[in-house]
Structures are given as structure tokens and as C-alpha cells.
């Protein structure tokens, strides 16, 4: 049987990040999730926060609820403390990740700890399928030393946060695996003009978010600007070339859930009735009850 050439995923759509604020006034850039037409199933939202001015971040995200999805917080620079209603605490330091499954409910705070210097990182929201929305809450704090780093043969490097790096002739599994949405979460840094191609299963959705330099998706004339997201069409490979200043970007992919989404702030369910139930449960102290 003839082997077919892998199909490189073409650029489908660019989503510039919008300046906004959330929590108690944390300034951030929101690309995915700035409205309901900028989601990419199973991804609901992607925020980048980056500031050297504590006034932009120090108020943090005081106690707030979530139900029905997962949040992934990746700190590039800074120090964030997490506390939840169960008394759990976690410290997120530079290069660390917290993977939180809100499931039926969590009430937590996410508060920057440093008083000066740069605070920089991302929060990604990943949806859960209907059958998993009401599972017990849980999370994993992943310190930087548990995140594999692969030095690319053409220069640059990849950090494998979730899923499997399948690029540059290597297969490397990240610490997060076994989820039904099969998320791939890579942090890729490329020197000027370097190329990178990662295998991505057909039918999974894939996107990039450029946060340093500029990046050209293979086959495209568009050079993605810093702080922009781009959705890729279907194919076997997500392939890119860094611009003249190099590039650093997140590459995200996952299996789409294909269910209706009803979101009300920090609650993401399938129906309006389930959202009303979440609000009532929160108001009556039953959000997180087993
Ligand atoms: Fe939160």
C-alpha cells in the first residue's frame, strides 16, 4: 500500500488577543473565549497575563467558583498561590503548571505572591464532556522539573506539558495524559528562521498562540504577530517557521467534544437548566457537595 504524504494543517483563522481584565482587576490578553465565536472545541478560553507592574496583577483572583471544565495555569515568571475550599494549597513558581479539574465544583483563589518583578503566564480552559462535568474536583501541581524539555536539532527547545511531543524524530510524553479530550500542550521556542512540525491526530482541533516574536504557519503568507492566536484546519502535521526575530508559542490540540455549550461566567455546562442549577448550588453552598 502506498504511504500517503502527511497533510500539513493550513492556517484557518487568526484571533488577535484583546486587552481585558478579570478577577479583582488583573490585566490580561484574551484570545480564545473573548466571545463564544472564538472558542475551539474542546478549548474554551486562553488568557495571557504579562506585566512588570504589580498594579496590573497583585489583586489576583480572590475566592471564586468553577463547574464543568478544567483550568490549566502555566506560570512563566512569578509566583502564584492557590487555595481551595477543601483546604488544599499549592504554590506555582516559574515554569510550573497547575492542572485543575473543577468537575462538579471548586471554590478557590489564585493570588500572585511576589511584590515586584514580572508576572507572566497563561490560563487555558478546557471543556469536559457531559458525562464528566459533575465528577469530583481534583488537581495536580506540576513543578518545572517534571516537565520534559527537548532541545530541537535545529536550535530552540520544546517543553511538553500535556500529550506527546511527536516532532524532530522523538516521542516524548508530558506529565498530563489519559484525559478524554487528549490535550496536547507544548511550549515551543525557535531561533530565527527555524522550522518545527508536530504530528497531530486527524480530527483533533489545533491552534497556536504566539507570545514572543513572530511565526509563519506552513503554506501561509501570514506572519502571526506576537500576542495572537491562530486556528489551524485539519491535517496530520502542525508546521511552522519562526520569523526573523525567532518565536515562542504555545501549540495546543485536542479531541473536540461536539456538545452544546452554555457558559455563565465560571460555569460551563450543556444546558441552561444545568447553569441555573449551578448558580443555585453556589448560592446555597452546595456547589462542591458530593
Ligand atoms: Fe479559577
Question: What's 116's domain CATH number?
Answer: 2.60.120.10
Strand partners, 253: 184, 206
Domain assignment present for residue 231? The answer is yes
**72 CA distance to ligand 1 middle (Å):** 9
Out of 125, 146, 167, a domain closes at 146
Quote the ligand 1 centre to 285 CA distance (angstroms).
17
Cα 169 to ligand 1 centroid, rounded to whole Å:
37
CA 268 to centroid of ligand 1, rounded, Å: 13
Does 129 share its domain with 174?
Answer: no
Q: How far is CA 111 from CA 58, 75, 141, in A?
A: 7, 12, 15
Query: What does pTM read for this prediction?
Result: 0.96
Q: What is the distance in A from the centroid of ligand 1 to the CA of 222? A: 34
Give per-10-residue mean pLDDT for the chain (290 aa).
84 94 92 90 96 90 96 95 88 94 95 88 98 94 97 97 98 96 98 98 98 96 95 98 98 98 96 97 89
| Same-domain pairing of 238 and 249 | yes
CA distance 122 to 53: 17
Task: Give the distance (Å) from ligand 1 centre to CA of residue 189.
Answer: 27
Q: What is the distance between the alpha carbons of residues 75 and 78, in angstroms, rounded to a whole number?
A: 7
Rounded to the nearest angstrom, the distance between the alpha carbon of 177 and the centre of ligand 1 is 22
- Boundary-marking domain end, from 88, 111, 146: 146
Rounded alpha-carbon distances, angstroms, from residue 154 to 157, 158, 197, 244: 9, 12, 12, 15
Q: Are 262 and 274 in contact (CB under 8 A)?
A: yes
Give the residue among 154, 232, 161, 157 at the shortest CA–CA distance from 200: 232
> Does residue 118 sit in the same domain as residue 161?
no
**Cα-to-centroid distance, 140 and ligand 1 (Å):** 14
Q: How far away, in angstroms, is 55 Cα from ligand 1 center? A: 20
Which residue, chain included where needed, has cell 466571545?
35
Q: What is the pLDDT of residue 78?
A: 93
d(CA 179, CA 84): 23
Same domain, 136 and 199: no
Which three-class secondary structure state does DSSP give residue 223? coil
Separation of 126 CA from ligand 1 center, angstroms?
A: 13
Domain identity same for 93 and 206: no
Report pLDDT for 2.
60
In a domain, 4, yes or no: no
How many angstroms separate the alpha carbon of residue 191 from the centre of ligand 1? 34
- Give yes or no for a contact between 142 and 148, defined as CB atoms under 8 angstroms apart: no
137 alpha carbon to ligand 1 midpoint, in Å? 12
CA atoms of 92 and 60, how far apart (whole Å) = 13
Distance (angstroms) between ligand 1 centre and the Cα of 227 equals 22
CA of 175 to the centre of ligand 1 (A): 21
21-29 long-range contacts, Cβ below 8 Å, gap at least 24? Answer: 22/47, 22/61, 23/59, 23/60, 23/61, 23/62, 23/64, 23/110, 24/59, 24/60, 24/61, 24/62, 25/59, 26/56, 26/57, 26/59, 26/60, 26/61, 27/51, 27/56, 27/57, 29/227
Cα of 129 from ligand 1 centre, angstroms: 19
C-alpha 71 to ligand 1 mean position (Å)? 7
Domain contains 8: no
CA of 61 to the centre of ligand 1 (A): 7
Q: What is the pLDDT of residue 290?
A: 63
* Ligand 1 center from residue 82 Cα (angstroms): 9
Distance of CA 64 from the midpoint of ligand 1 (Å): 6
- Domain with 198, as residue range(s), is 147-259
Find the 20 Cα to ligand 1 centroid distance in Å. Answer: 16
103 within 8 A of 67, measured Cβ to Cβ: yes
Asked if residue 137 and residue 21 are part of one domain, the reply reads yes
Instruction: Report the number of distinct structural domains present in the chain.
Output: 2
Between the CA of 282 and the centroid of ligand 1 the distance, in Å, is 15
Neighbours of 89 (CB within 10 A): 11
Q: How far is the first Cα of the chain from the last one, in angstroms, to the nearest whole number?
A: 54
Q: Which of 91, 113, 146 is the last residue of a domain?
A: 146
Amino acid at each position: 500500500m502506498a504511504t500517503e504524504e502527511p497533510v500539513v494543517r493550513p492556517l484557518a483563522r487568526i484571533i488577535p488577543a484583546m486587552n481585558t481584565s478579570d478577577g479583582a482587576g488583573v490585566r490580561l490578553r484574551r484570545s480564545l473565549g473573548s466571545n463564544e465565536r472564538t472558542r475551539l472545541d474542546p478549548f474554551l478560553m486562553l488568557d495571557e497575563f504579562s506585566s512588570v507592574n504589580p498594579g496590573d496583577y497583585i489583586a489576583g483572583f480572590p475566592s471564586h467558583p468553577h463547574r464543568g471544565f478544567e483550568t490549566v495555569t502555566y506560570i512563566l515568571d512569578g509566583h502564584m498561590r492557590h487555595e481551595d475550599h477543601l483546604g488544599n494549597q499549592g504554590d506555582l513558581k516559574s515554569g510550573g503548571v497547575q492542572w485543575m479539574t473543577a468537575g462538579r465544583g471548586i471554590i478557590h483563589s489564585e493570588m500572585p505572591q511576589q511584590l515586584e518583578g514580572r508576572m507572566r503566564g497563561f490560563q487555558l480552559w478546557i471543556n469536559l464532556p457531559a458525562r464528566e462535568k459533575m465528577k469530583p474536583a481534583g488537581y495536580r501541581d506540576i513543578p518545572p522539573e517534571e516537565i520534559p524539555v527537548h532541545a530541537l536539532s535545529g536550535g530552540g527547545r520544546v517543553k511538553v506539558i500535556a500529550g506527546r511531543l511527536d516532532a524532530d524524530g522523538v516521542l516524548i510524553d508530558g506529565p498530563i495524559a489519559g484525559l478524554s479530550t487528549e490535550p496536547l500542550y507544548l511550549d515551543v521556542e525557535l531561533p530565527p528562521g527555524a522550522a518545527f512540525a508536530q504530528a497531530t491526530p486527524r480530527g483533533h482541533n489545533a491552534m497556536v498562540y504566539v507570545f514572543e516574536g513572530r511565526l509563519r504557519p506552513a503554506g501561509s503568507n501570514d506572519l502571526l504577530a506576537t500576542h495572537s492566536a491562530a486556528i489551524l484546519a485539519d491535517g496530520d502535521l502542525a508546521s511552522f517557521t519562526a520569523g526573523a526575530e525567532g518565536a515562542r508559542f504555545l501549540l495546543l490540540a485536542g479531541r473536540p467534544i461536539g456538545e452544546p455549550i452554555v457558559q455563565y461566567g465560571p460555569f460551563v455546562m450543556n444546558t441552561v437548566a444545568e447553569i441555573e442549577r449551578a448558580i443555585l448550588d453556589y448560592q446555597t453552598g452546595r456547589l462542591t457537595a458530593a
